[in-house]
Chains A and B, each alone.
Chain A
């Protein structure tokens, strides 16, 4: 059994989970929702095993390193952390409908990684041979994942709010009836960002610590660094906006979506469109 096969199984499981969550919205049957969560959990475990196996495979090739070093590995890890944060929020608050808005992110990540990216295991170039790589990548991606979940929740908020404004009768049924109330969604959005913000802060700090250790500058305004700071500013603005009246609800949801768009740009856009230190495997 190879890690690549297990990643394929993971991708299928995430697709199954997404479909079940859709069936849950349509059927409004609680046990269907639970099945969606279990499919996601199963996929999560398989993916965890696959990541572990890939780690071992790199040792078999004679240059063992944690599978966090190129674009393929980071996309896989990102989708794994998204499912982790989703499961955490799902088990804690039990709003199953969120699954339909979050699992597609994880599914999309896996599909892109498996179908579109170079899956080869390469040895680490000197710049990446450091334990800081692990601390830095893990904290950053957990933060990004929490923002992905917040973004899914915010999209639900915006859909539900605009339907309610349009006069849809929420109680009568339809897909909307399984959505949490807009107050709950607003609150969950805040909670997800409360998980993400400290992790992103830690990610930036570990990145700075690593840069200082490896190059002697903790901050050099490299595009990736700058974009992570931009993301950080956006979410700091989000947190402060909640304290002043009038910025909860719709505006907060929009800010959360913008924040996630900036996050994705920070993660991928910088590598694709700008140049700097953090280019994957260039």
Chain B
């Protein structure tokens, strides 16, 4: 009793995982729960969290809604889908394989009744003659037939593209292959980010989780540039990169331009143009200082924060600067700098200076000195997305299988034709796994041609 009960239970579990109802439930269920993560911000920002109540935040984080697609229950659903898929395929594949590998060669009466297309043809000639005629006919018009002799009758069987019945299983396999590829990527790959100032080099990158990963080589940013359309919309972000091994440029990886949609790959690690910014450390500011009482103007250069001695014992440091003040100061344009001016023996005074176009504006400050800002040698840093994903080719292979399998399952049909040859004539039967209306036309066509042959 106990053993049958146990078998009964195992059987029930097996049936549960083989059921198509479960698949439909899982597919619809995944569709529904996926919505949650598109409505609730994933990896939420502080501003977003501020709009939620305390209880909501506690509830959402307990349910994993803030990183929903990696929460245990979402992953569990994906594993259930995979298990369901595997069980279903294991259960059904042998049956389909049998249809493909052991076709029904003989059309007996019972089988004939199950076929949608059957035609009795009265033809003159002996059994032998008719057999050869039918064989030649099927070979020419349909496919090479297999001939079986049974109970004094000849049975011919011919089929086209039997393997397309496996299309569904190719699709299902492809989904598993894609999952495997994704798992490989998540265990052995990483996504990271790095900023490189122009002229600077990096040898490690930081992953999303904050871990530093050594690259095993260096990447130097030679130059970064951004260009705009007349409309003001960005046209191109371009970094020029050089890969260095032991401090030496690698041939073929020297001064390689990369732009959005055209990355650089070296040793399986790919660098993508992602963002940019103004690098402060490198910028060199140009100033002109003139004594109001007369005298030749003096040109000065300063780095950010550096205290520069001015004629007459005063000091100046540039805090920050821009090549275009329009976004910050209404009615002004051109370069501008926020400076801190310390008169000889006085306290520091912060103010803004502009180009020589705004003489009277600049004249408001500086004591005896008239200071103008001439501009700067601006340096950028380039922001690169860095990815290493050894599973990606497995994923592409899975995608290829999926397209192939869908085409086999949807657009191809396993067509079969049987001919039973007796002394009184030929009975032709046919069936197709897809598109019965289309096959009927094809079958009628065959029947008509036999009449003429």
Bitwise, B11-36 to A at CB < 8 A (1) or not (0) is 00000000011011001101100110
Q: Are A229 and B272 in contact (CB under 8 A)?
A: no
Instruction: Give the contacting residue for B31; candidates A132, A217, A234; CB below 8 A.
Output: A234
Q: Are B28 and A209 in contact (CB under 8 A)?
A: no
Residues of B within 8 A of A63 (CB): 229
- Complex: how many Å from CA A108 to CA B261? 34
With A126-B261, A129-B261 given, is the CB distance from A208 to B399 under 8 Å? yes
The minimal Cβ–Cβ distance linking B270 to chain A, given in whole angstroms, is 5
For the residues of A in contact with B, the DSSP-based class is helix
Does any Cβ of B come within 8 Å of A19's Cβ? no
Does any Cβ of A come within 8 Å of B4's Cβ? no
- Complex: how many Å from CA A127 to CA B272? 11
With A198-B407, A230-B35 given, is the CB distance from A130 to B261 under 8 Å? yes
Does any Cβ of A come within 8 Å of B237's Cβ? yes
8 contacts between A and B (CB under 8 A): A122-B231, A126-B260, A201-B403, A214-B261, A216-B191, A216-B389, A223-B38, A230-B31
Does any Cβ of A come within 8 Å of B296's Cβ? no
- Complex: how many Å from CA A194 to CA B261? 33
How many residues of chain B get a CB closer than 8 Å to chain A's CBs? 45
Q: Are A213 and B28 in contact (CB under 8 A)?
A: no
- Complex: how many Å from CA A130 to CA B403? 23
- Complex: how many Å from CA A212 to CA B392? 9
Q: Are A214 and B27 in contact (CB under 8 A)?
A: no
Q: Which stretch, A94-102, A148-156, A168-176, A240-248, touches the partner chain B? A: A240-248
With A122-B231, A212-B392 given, is the CB distance from A270 to B38 under 8 Å? yes
Q: Are B21 and A214 in contact (CB under 8 A)?
A: no
- Chain A residues 210 to 247 lying within 8 A of chain B, measured CB to CB, are 212-219, 221, 223, 226-227, 229-230, 233-234, 236-237, 240-241, 243-244, 247
Q: Are B39 and A240 in contact (CB under 8 A)?
A: no
Does any Cβ of A come within 8 Å of B274's Cβ? yes
Does any Cβ of B come within 8 Å of A52's Cβ? no
The minimal Cβ–Cβ distance linking B79 to chain A, given in whole angstroms, is 16
Q: Are A194 and B410 in contact (CB under 8 A)?
A: yes
- Complex: how many Å from CA A215 to CA B272? 6
- Complex: how many Å from CA A110 to CA B213? 52
- Complex: how many Å from CA A215 to CA B37? 21
Instruction: Give the contacting residue for A216; candidates B27, B233, B386, B395; CB below 8 A.
Output: B386
With A215-B385, A244-B20 given, is the CB distance from A237 to B27 under 8 Å? yes
The minimal Cβ–Cβ distance linking B259 to chain A, given in whole angstroms, is 7
Sample of 7 more A-B contacts, CB < 8 Å, known A125-B233, A212-B389, A237-B27: A122-B231, A122-B233, A197-B406, A208-B399, A213-B263, A226-B69, A240-B20
Does any Cβ of B come within 8 Å of A66's Cβ? no
Bitwise, B74-108 to A at CB < 8 A (1) or not (0) is 00000000000000000000000000000000000
- Chain B residues 267 to 297 lying within 8 A of chain A, measured CB to CB, are 270, 272-274
Does any Cβ of A come within 8 Å of B144's Cβ? no
Instruction: Give the contacting residue for A233; candidates B21, B34, B270, B395; CB below 8 A.
Output: B34
The minimal Cβ–Cβ distance linking A195 to chain B, given in whole angstroms, is 9
**A210 and chain B: residue at smallest CB distance:** B261
- Chain A residues 92 to 141 lying within 8 A of chain B, measured CB to CB, are 122-123, 125-127, 129-130, 132
Q: A: which residues have CB within 8 A of B?
A: 63, 122-123, 125-127, 129-130, 132, 194, 197-198, 201-202, 205, 208-209, 212-219, 221, 223, 226-227, 229-230, 233-234, 236-237, 240-241, 243-244, 247, 262, 270, 274
The minimal Cβ–Cβ distance linking A250 to chain B, given in whole angstroms, is 16
- Complex: how many Å from CA A101 to CA B395? 39
Residues of A within 8 A of B407 (CB): 198
Does any Cβ of A come within 8 Å of B332's Cβ? no
- Complex: how many Å from CA A218 to CA B189? 13
The minimal Cβ–Cβ distance linking A277 to chain B, given in whole angstroms, is 12
Does any Cβ of A come within 8 Å of B42's Cβ? yes
Q: Are A236 and B27 in contact (CB under 8 A)?
A: yes
Does any Cβ of A come within 8 Å of B387's Cβ? yes
Residues of B within 8 A of A198 (CB): 403, 406-407, 410
Does any Cβ of A come within 8 Å of B402's Cβ? yes
Does any Cβ of A come within 8 Å of B306's Cβ? no
**B35 and chain A: residue at smallest CB distance:** A230
- Complex: how many Å from CA A233 to CA B23? 10
The minimal Cβ–Cβ distance linking B256 to chain A, given in whole angstroms, is 16
The minimal Cβ–Cβ distance linking A192 to chain B, given in whole angstroms, is 12
Does any Cβ of A come within 8 Å of B234's Cβ? yes
The minimal Cβ–Cβ distance linking A134 to chain B, given in whole angstroms, is 13
- Complex: how many Å from CA A209 to CA B191? 16
- Chain B residues 384 to 400 lying within 8 A of chain A, measured CB to CB, are 385-387, 389, 392, 395-396, 399
The minimal Cβ–Cβ distance linking A248 to chain B, given in whole angstroms, is 13
Which 3 residue pairs of A and B lie closest in terms of their CB atoms, listed nearest first? A216-B387, A233-B31, A126-B260
- Chain B residues 197 to 234 lying within 8 A of chain A, measured CB to CB, are 229, 231, 233-234
- Complex: how many Å from CA A234 to CA B27? 7
With A63-B229, A212-B392, A229-B34 given, is the CB distance from A126 to B28 under 8 Å? no
Q: Are B395 and A218 in contact (CB under 8 A)?
A: yes
With A216-B385, A226-B34, A226-B38 given, is the CB distance from A240 to B260 under 8 Å? no
Q: Are A205 and B399 in contact (CB under 8 A)?
A: yes
- Chain B residues 244 to 274 lying within 8 A of chain A, measured CB to CB, are 259-261, 263, 270, 272-274
Q: Are A213 and B38 in contact (CB under 8 A)?
A: no
With A198-B406, A209-B396, A213-B261 given, is the CB distance from A240 to B34 under 8 Å? no
Q: Are B385 and A123 in contact (CB under 8 A)?
A: no
Residues of B within 8 A of A233 (CB): 27-28, 30-31, 34
**B19 and chain A: residue at smallest CB distance:** A244
Bitwise, B329-350 to A at CB < 8 A (1) or not (0) is 0000000000000000000000
Residues of A within 8 A of B113 (CB): none
The minimal Cβ–Cβ distance linking B411 to chain A, given in whole angstroms, is 8
- Complex: how many Å from CA A49 to CA B42? 43
Residues of B within 8 A of A217 (CB): 191, 387
With A197-B406, A216-B270 given, is the CB distance from A244 to B263 under 8 Å? no
Residues of A within 8 A of B387 (CB): 215-217
Q: Are A127 and B20 in contact (CB under 8 A)?
A: no
**A193 and chain B: residue at smallest CB distance:** B410
- Complex: how many Å from CA A241 to CA B21? 8
Does any Cβ of A come within 8 Å of B129's Cβ? no
Q: Are B35 and A216 in contact (CB under 8 A)?
A: no
Q: Are B406 and A201 in contact (CB under 8 A)?
A: yes
